[in-house]
A and B are shown apart, each in its own frame.
Chain A
Amino acid sequence: MSEQFQRLLDIYGADIGRWPAEQRAVAEQLLATDPAARALWERTRDFDARIARQLASISEHEGQMEQAAQRRVLAALAQLPAQRQRTWWGEWSSALLDWDFTPAWPRIAALASVAVLGFAIGLVELPPAESTHTIAMAEADVGSIVFDPEPLTGLRP
């Protein structure tokens, strides 16, 4: 039970008020009746607060650096380029452009799907074994007509 409760605490955080209604009701009952669950919740609350504090913290030096960075970015954006206007032919191409900024896995998945599809089509389109044999025999016959020696004289054409 404690492992499952810890998992839910990790997923939704120690602020039970932000949990989905169903899990919140169960959690509130658990906290009211189970001292071990309450101790786990208190530890998680302190842990969450520590993470939040750490992520919000910034040293004086970093603060000054960030202020300077903000000023530089604002100065760089003082002169704005022309906007890209919306065009009827640009609708689907802009979707492709946006797609470029997504994580790599959809593109990899799409390429893998195309490769699998090509492989499957290749397997389906292969001619049966007999016809392969027929083609090979036909090719052999052509070769014998062109290159085999004359049966009587032994001369090659």
Chain B
Amino acid sequence: MDNDSDEDLVARVAGGNEAAFRQLTRRYLPRALGFARRITGNSADAEEIAQEALLRVWTHAPRWRPVASFRTWFYRVVLNLSLNRRRRAPFLPLDEAGDVADPGLDASAALERDEADRTLAAAIAQLPERQRAAILLTYREGLSNAETAAILGASVSGVETLLVRAKRTLRAALGNKP
């Protein structure tokens, strides 16, 4: 079952197969938690969102229509739940400067890199939500621009514009930092 495609698993979930649902959950729970946490900036919200999204996979599976890939559908659900949650609650910036220093660097270089990474983390957290989502989906989740467009409900050229603007902002935030 480990090698089964997402779509095969969803087809079995639609028939009430709990084992297939557990397999999908193992595959997508860590991604959902990490993605929702990066969008909402809140671990507790991310937990509820991941649970809700996976519950929808189970309850909606009999009515799921394979017009898009399961991955696209699932990320869209997680993204929209996250955005809805963010609109209801003020955003708390991520406190995530915990990048472990590379032991191959000397101490001062590691400190400089840590500072640059903190700056970058803060800049990513402060991006407008759709720009941040585009960066997360392409860099963290490794999705194509077309898949990202489907998840965001935007055109591919719209996603390209989001990426260009986001990277300009991030470059400006980093400035001359190494």
A73 near B47: Cβ-Cβ < 8 Å: yes
Chain A residues whose C-beta falls within 8 Å of the C-beta of B126 in the assembled complex: none
B63 near A74: Cβ-Cβ < 8 Å: no
Q: Which of A53, A65, A76, A77 contacts B43 (CB 8 A)?
A: A65
Q: Which of A72, A85, A105 contacts B62 (CB 8 A)?
A: A85
Known contacts A56-B140, A103-B152: A51-B25 contact under CB 8 Å:
no
Number of interface residues of B (CB under 8 A): 54
Within the assembled complex, what's the spacing in Å between the Cα atoms of A59 and B55?
28
B62 near A57: Cβ-Cβ < 8 Å: no
A50 near B51: Cβ-Cβ < 8 Å: no
B46 within 8 A of A: yes
Q: Interface 1/0s, chain A 39-69, versus B by CB < 8 A? A: 0000000011011111111111110011001
A73 near B54: Cβ-Cβ < 8 Å: yes
A84 within 8 A of B: yes
Within the assembled complex, what's the spacing in Å between the Cα atoms of A12 and B59?
37
Chain B residue nearest to A57 in the complex (CB):
B99
Q: Please give 8 more A-B residue pairs, beta carbons under 8 A apart, in addition to A59-B99, A86-B63.
A: A57-B99, A59-B96, A69-B33, A77-B25, A81-B58, A83-B14, A84-B62, A102-B80
Selected A-B contacts with CB under 8 Å, 26 pairs: A11-B145, A11-B164, A13-B138, A47-B167, A47-B170, A52-B139, A53-B99, A54-B124, A55-B135, A57-B98, A57-B117, A58-B96, A65-B43, A66-B30, A66-B34, A69-B43, A73-B51, A74-B25, A80-B55, A81-B58, A83-B58, A83-B59, A84-B63, A85-B62, A94-B63, A103-B152
List residues of B whose CB falls within 8 A of some A CB: 14, 16, 18, 21, 25, 29-30, 33-34, 37-38, 43, 46-47, 50-51, 54-55, 58-63, 76-77, 80-81, 83, 96, 98-100, 116-117, 120-121, 124, 135-136, 138-140, 145, 152-153, 160, 163-164, 167-168, 170-171, 174
